[in-house]
Structure 1
Amino acid sequence: MVKPWQDTTLPAHARAADLLARMTNEEKTAQLSSVWIGADTEGADVAPGQHTFAARSAVLDALLPYGLGHLTRPFGTVPVEPAEGVARLADLQRTISGGNRFGLPAIAHEECLTGFTAWQATVFPTPLAWGATFDPALITDMALAIGVSMRAVGIHQGLAPVLDVVRDPRWGRTEEAIGEDPYLVGTIGTAYVQGLQSAGIVATLKHFAGYSASRAARNHAPASLGPRELADVILPPFEMALRDGGARSVMPAYNDIDGLPAHAHPALLTQLLREQWEFTGTVVSDYYGVSLLEEAHKIADGEGAAARLALAAGVDVELPAARCFSPTDALPEDLLDRAALRVLTQKCELGLLDPGWEPVTADGPVDLNPPHMRELAQRVAQESVVLLANDAGVLPLRDGLRIALVGPLADEQAAMLGCYTFPRHVGVHHPGLPTGIDVPTLAEALRTELPDAAFVGDLAGADICLAVVGDRSGLFGRGSSGEGCDAEDLQLPYGQAEVLDSAMDSGVPVVIVVLSGRPYALGRWAGRAAAVVQAFFPGQEGGGAVAGVLSGRVDPSGRLPVAVPARPGGQPAPYLAPPLALHGFPSTVDPTPLYPFGHGLSYSAFAWDLPECDAPELPTDGDTTVRLTVRNTGDRAGTEVVQLYLHDPVGTVARPEVRLVGYARVPLDAGASAEVHATFPADLAAYTGADGRRVVEPGALELRIAASSAEVHHTVPLTLTGPVREVGHERRMRCEMRVK
């Protein structure tokens, strides 16, 4: 007889509640637990404190009689051939489901920040490159493909996207973030969530919250956040991805906010997330985040105390391995029931409670890098390359030139790959292991792109010099960018400034190509470089994408998701700054960037007609539509990116001078035109006032239609009328942009 928890006609919550009522406390606790098989083996070194904590974590055999909540990284811990990985995971799931009296399998989770982090899987560009595309639809397609590949091998949950808004690009995890603007991060991140979850994979929003605002940009450092910065800059991307994207899991951050660690923050994880935002999914700890309440934050006296703090705050699952959430340690039953019900509900939604459930198996070879995924990786890479400068008109390059290719990253595969790609995350611990995928370097791609060019080693004999600089990604000090690889300043690492100086002094025109995980200060060469191209770890197809932009085969259409500074000092990013933080007030430091947020050039040219506004006066609960015609006046096809910024002349608290509220990519053939419609809701003018309420106020506003945050083509004055209006979670968070 089918029991209610097995009845697929009942709602998931009801089925989970029925199962919960049949469980012992030990079985409930096991559903909050995880096991990381292989974490203590040689060559598995992918998380801070991994080996220290692994020795004290619960093992699978001890949990089998009770069940298991999560299985950690069955593909992403050590190299495994894909078909063999499917078979191993299926065997593990049979062991897990066969070991407990309800026959419950575990949720298998993996990293998927730059694609499925598994050997031989497609490597996509890093999230900072997603931001540079300004193309949510493409990111949805990418995430769908990633999700389909994961689901096909038995994975249920992906630990992505990262929705941290960059506040100081010295932070090593800048490459994992989407950008420095909350609207861009929110819209691109939501697109990723929608794609991943449409494939049946649970998306996990991280890191909630304030991780990127750490002091001096140091990993895990406290975040000095005021309530308005938290509310208006840090939190909106999470809110958008939950409300509009329907994300089903959230991961707290390692940092504390004003002394309270996120893993023990009831106001964040319960009052805001659950009660105000009505989130019903699971909160999974960052790796060892519960243990760190005891070991690092020093707010818990022992593992049990850490578990109780985390549970009370709203953490449901301890990842990557059970150490504090132990079936042998009595936990408060009301908190235990609350968390276990959420986990069981998610398992039900994933089909893991259905009668006759069987693990995924493979009948033959498993291809994690098929042609359609490589094509998607190529499209994302191509759209993400940013042409920063072309003052001398040397780009695009013509074939047949004598090209001096210099710089330590010109022929370096690592320059293409972010820190959460399998080759840089796991593969580096396995010397001699083949990459498993084809990752052409820029030098290799250029030789294919320009077959008649002569690549010369002597600058004196060259027509032009390509100086390739930037980062090698890594983790915890094994690179210049990546988790735990924070920078003291924004000077190019590895002595690359001297490489550029030497190239500039040669008298040969120099094109600077930056392949990096963060922006670096380039003001030292402003006006001296013939051209500058920026790509943010563009993935396995990145070499061809950058080479295509240099040759002109690809028209550059990427836009900066983070400003490029002029000077290497660690000043905060100037974008989203109030007037007092900008240049012009008494200070010897000029924070004006060399290239501002949203900047990017094309090989074509565009003209923007005067905009028309339906209603320049609108109520505080209304909206208005602005229309603008964009024309391609160049001699080749290209893509313009129309950006809409909001300027609020007077507020009750200091406000950013401008902030992004809408954008649209406008691809046009030579001589063609298109009309861009932007419907701006007054809700987008809301901000958190002095009393902590988010309000829309009557008064003057200005929409700035721009090619970047600093290059304004047109302004549209608006007037909001009516009463001050408080808005909450139901507010409109998007400007609808249509291209006709």
Structure 2
Amino acid sequence: MATQEKFGVTVHKNPGGPDIATTGAKILEKDGLFFKDLAGTGELLPYEDWRLDIEERAKDLAGRLSIEEIAGLMLYSPHQMVPAGPHGPFPGTYGGKTLEESGAAHWELTDQQKNFIERDHVRHILAMVLENAETAAKWSNRLQSFAESLPWGIPVNISSDPRHGSSSAGAEYKSGAGDVSKWPEGLGMAATFSPELCREFGKAVSEEYRAMGITTALFPQVDLATEPRWMRFEDTFGAHPDMVADMSRAYCDSLQTTENSPTGWGKDSLCAMAKHWPGGGPCEGGRDAHYPFGKFAVYPGNNLSDHLKPFLEGVFRLEGPTGRTSAIMPYYTVSWGLDQKNGKNVGNSYSEYLIRDLLREKYGYDGVVCTDWGITADPSPEIDSFSSRCYGVEDLSEAERHLLAIENGVDQFGGNSAIAPILEAYEIGCRRHGEAAMRKRMEESAVRLLRNIFRCGLFENPYLDPAESVKTTGCEAFCQAGYQAQLKSLVLVKNQGALPQRDRKKVFIPARHIGPMKAFFRSDLPAQDIQPISRELVEKYYDWAETPEEADFALVFIESPLSDGYSQADRDAGGNGYVPISLQYRPYRADAARKESIAGGDFREDFTNRSYKGKTGTAANEADLDLVLNAKRAMRDKPVIVVLRMHKPTVPAEFEPSADAILVDFGVQSQAILDLVSGRAEPSGLLPVQMPANMDTVERHCEDVPLDMEPYRDSAGNVYDFAFGLNWNGVISDGRARRYPKP
């Protein structure tokens, strides 16, 4: 056996066993092996013995914890910024001072982090902004060292939302910059029609996340995207049930698997939290449940079964030894009419039928169930708000909401960092069920939560070598693989001889204009003018033309219509506030919409009919259409190439006749687009969705049924249906589409 000291960590090497790393905990030696004395008893307790089964260790530790300590495990920290600034929604201080005033290193712990770890026993921390890989690794080491010094020595489980999406990355491919590799967004990965590539993606994500100390991924989003107007459509793997199941299975399997481990779990594993049970896709009228006006999921096609397929045949049926995704997140939605037991229309986490009866009992899921963020606080009195989503249980107290979710089988509360409501829920539960029963129920959650920390090897060695973290994160191999995946995700749907533009020519690229609109948090965004691509990057391929007249071809960047489903102006004018979400650019009158909404009812409204029939929907980026039409007029017979950033299926009828080529981008770096336009790469992606013929077919489709719209037929006779795509030789027919026949 050998002992090493490096970057402030002492590592004890076990022959044939895990490394034992510590910054302060005492070491026990037994049977010629090293163990941590995390409890400080001087004796080897079962939870400290890495030779035992994880389940046995988790149960032993859970049984030793106080209710306060268990409650802390059920919490999630606020979003953490590393380093923390003095202002904004998630500020932090260092010894009561700002970072600059304190002189603290960027990876030091804030006062707030120390408080919620020690005082509230929080062990699940959500990392939002990490300055770079080195800072992330050193901050992780500080967190783990602090946690190790506290009673029981329970490590911290750092989690993160997706970081690898290429649409928000820099314009050009690069590696070694301390950031993670960049890959296609969810729909872009689906456009490759390759679960094998998705598996490769998961491998890169797990290695880079673990290098930064992250051990839980708050993804993948495995919702079946059946509703084309949904704002979260682009983060899914598309609309085909079998494809979404295959992609989700491959992704979760690669995220969680440590190779050559009998259980699949170990030092390379990343716990996956698949979302959103039982599927967030069928939102009525496309309105999203982040907002009270979009809280209802509806099933006019009686098609819950397809929405469960990514779970039952995907993330619950992994090919590797980890078996199932380690955690599940229910969505905010009220899944209207699904409760066959109690007939209650409440948010999914509050539904006994959906969580306990279906998820836990019928389908036997025993992993962590974590609510989506912010569902337990009291609601805002304003329906057009970004606030608590305690849908259907607004009349309960905050503690009673926690208890109801716990009774249903929920283990953890996303976005909740206050311990008091859980402790109050426990007291109410003791009066209702008896202390023994309530203690048993709380321990069940503790076991599930601790199990994931044990699975990742954190009790033995949670520490990182910052130099190795920098080498792994954003390494050349991962960045190159991600960039190649971006190229494979681009879909060419029209090409009348306009592509590729191989020679160095003059290109005209018009600036975009977006009118005023609502932001994600429902604040008002002013109008903005946007240069869609860097001139410096373009000039590596072509000469920049200031006017269409001097250009050889036009490259017009547009995006899917930006449309909102709720209008204060409509409400002020005496309407119900509900308006159409449009997938076309010009104003659209919803004459084909439902006369009566399927779902309705809210304490803030004195009506139940949320219909918008006969009202007009608009797009904040209507000017995108004018860019195409004006370019066509100005360019005359010279090629007009449209690049559509499609975050939702878009009606092409208004602009397709004026385009000589249309390239669909689901979220890639600009360089990938130019590599394809210039012929340095050839398009190979296929549509993972339908592009609808018109808005009438959108209104008539069922929100819960996949691929049930009439697809658009273009002027060349091609139909923009699921699995359609072109390469330089014409329609792609390489066998991938046969893998996923249209339902």
Give TM-score scaled by structure 1 length. Answer: 0.68
**C-alpha distance in 2, partners of 1:573/1:165?**
19
How many residue pairs align between the two structures? 556
Asked if 1:333 is matched to 2:333, the reply is no
Counterpart of 1:337, as a letter, is E
Asked if 1:106 is matched to 2:106, the reply is no
Q: Name 2:723's counterpart in structure 1.
A: 598
CA shift in 2, pair 1:290/1:376, >3 Å: farther
Asked if 1:447 is matched to 2:539, the reply is yes
Where 1:26 maps in the other structure, the secondary structure is: helix
Q: Name 2:193's counterpart in structure 1.
A: 134
Q: CA RMSD in A?
A: 3.9
CA shift in 2, pair 1:139/1:292, >3 Å: farther
Where 2:138 maps in the other structure, the secondary structure is: helix
Q: Name 1:225's counterpart in structure 2.
A: 298
Kindly state the Cα deviation for residue 446 of structure 1 after the two structures are TM-superposed. Answer: 4.0
**C-alpha distance in 2, partners of 1:562/1:125?**
16
CA shift in 2, pair 1:358/1:407, >3 Å: closer
Q: Name 1:381's counterpart in structure 2.
A: 486
Kindly state the Cα deviation for residue 298 of structure 1 after the two structures are TM-superposed. Answer: 4.9
Aligned mate of 1:469, from 552, 555, 558:
558
CA shift in 2, pair 1:360/1:302, >3 Å: farther
Where 2:736 maps in the other structure, the secondary structure is: strand
Q: Name 2:474's counterpart in structure 1.
A: 369
1:717-732 maps to which residues of 2 (within 5 A)?
none
Asked if 1:283 is matched to 2:369, the reply is yes
Gaps of 5+ in 1: 48-57, 411-418, 429-438, 478-485, 585-591, 609-638, 647-657, 660-740
CA shift in 2, pair 1:644/1:406, >3 Å: same
Aligned 8 A contact 2:300 2:703 in 1: no
Aligned 8 A contact 1:489 1:570 in 2: no
Deviates more, 1:34-43 or 1:596-605: 34-43
Aligned 8 A contact 1:69 1:317 in 2: no
CA shift in 2, pair 1:577/1:214, >3 Å: closer
CA shift in 2, pair 1:576/1:307, >3 Å: closer
1:522-533 maps to which residues of 2 (within 5 A)?
522-533=652-663
**Could you tell me the percent identity over the aligned residues?**
22
**C-alpha distance in 1, partners of 2:448/2:49?**
18
Counterpart of 2:544, as a letter, is F
Aligned 8 A contact 2:488 2:684 in 1: yes
Where 1:289 maps in the other structure, the secondary structure is: coil
Deviates more, 1:184-193 or 1:592-601: 592-601
Question: Could you report, residue by residue, the CA deviation over 1:692-736 in whole angstroms, capped at 9, with x for unpaired residues?
Answer: xxxxxxxxxxxxxxxxxxxxxxxxxxxxxxxxxxxxxxxxxxxxx
**C-alpha distance in 1, partners of 2:160/2:705?**
40
**C-alpha distance in 2, partners of 1:440/1:502?**
17
Aligned mate of 1:248, from 311, 315, 326:
326
Question: Could you report, residue by residue, the CA deviation over 1:438-486 in whole angstroms, capped at 9, with x for unpaired residues?
Answer: x9947554432x3xx4332222233322211116999999xxxxxxxx9
Q: Name 2:391's counterpart in structure 1.
A: 297
Counterpart of 1:279, as a letter, is Y
**C-alpha distance in 1, partners of 2:252/2:243?**
14
**C-alpha distance in 2, partners of 1:580/1:62?**
47
Where 1:406 maps in the other structure, the secondary structure is: coil
Asked if 1:69 is matched to 2:161, the reply is no
Question: Could you report, residue by residue, the CA deviation over 1:1-22 in whole angstroms, capped at 9, with x for unpaired residues?
Answer: 2111222222211111122222
Q: Name 1:274's counterpart in structure 2.
A: 360
**C-alpha distance in 1, partners of 2:560/2:145?**
43
Question: Could you report, residue by residue, the CA deviation over 1:504-539 in whole angstroms, capped at 9, with x for unpaired residues?
Answer: 22213311111232232211133332111111111x
CA shift in 2, pair 1:515/1:106, >3 Å: same
Where 1:206 maps in the other structure, the secondary structure is: strand
**C-alpha distance in 2, partners of 1:128/1:345?**
32
Aligned 8 A contact 2:333 2:348 in 1: yes
Where 2:662 maps in the other structure, the secondary structure is: strand
Q: Name 2:103's counterpart in structure 1.
A: none
Q: Name 2:624's counterpart in structure 1.
A: 496
Q: Name 2:736's counterpart in structure 1.
A: 641
Where 2:512 maps in the other structure, the secondary structure is: coil
Kindly state the Cα deviation for residue 149 of structure 1 after the two structures are TM-superposed. Answer: 0.9
Q: Name 1:534's counterpart in structure 2.
A: 664
**C-alpha distance in 2, partners of 1:476/1:579?**
21
Question: Could you report, residue by residue, the CA deviation over 1:13-64 in whole angstroms, capped at 9, with x for unpaired residues?
Answer: 11111222222222222221222264796665599xxxxxxxxxx9752652
Q: Name 2:501's counterpart in structure 1.
A: 397
Counterpart of 1:567, as a letter, is N
Gaps of 5+ in 2: 1-42, 92-111, 170-177, 258-267, 337-344, 380-387, 427-437, 526-530, 567-578, 586-619, 712-716
Q: Name 1:210's counterpart in structure 2.
A: 279
Aligned 8 A contact 1:563 1:575 in 2: no
Asked if 1:3 is matched to 2:53, the reply is no
Aligned 8 A contact 1:557 1:601 in 2: yes
Q: Name 2:611's counterpart in structure 1.
A: none
Which structure carries more relative contact order (alpha carbon 8 Å, separation 6+)? 2
Aligned mate of 1:562, from 652, 666, 689:
689
Asked if 1:342 is matched to 2:469, the reply is no
CA shift in 2, pair 1:146/1:409, >3 Å: farther
Asked if 1:180 is matched to 2:239, the reply is yes
**C-alpha distance in 2, partners of 1:576/1:120?**
38
Counterpart of 2:629, as a letter, is D
Kindly state the Cα deviation for residue 110 of structure 1 after the two structures are TM-superposed. Answer: 0.8
Q: Name 1:21's counterpart in structure 2.
A: 63
Kindly state the Cα deviation for residue 340 of structure 1 after the two structures are TM-superposed. Answer: 1.2
1:480-495 maps to which residues of 2 (within 5 A)?
488-492=581-585, 493-494=620-621, 495=623
Aligned 8 A contact 1:161 1:204 in 2: yes
CA shift in 2, pair 1:440/1:408, >3 Å: closer
Asked if 1:87 is matched to 2:138, the reply is yes
**C-alpha distance in 2, partners of 1:295/1:513?**
37
**C-alpha distance in 2, partners of 1:155/1:321?**
19
CA shift in 2, pair 1:288/1:607, >3 Å: closer
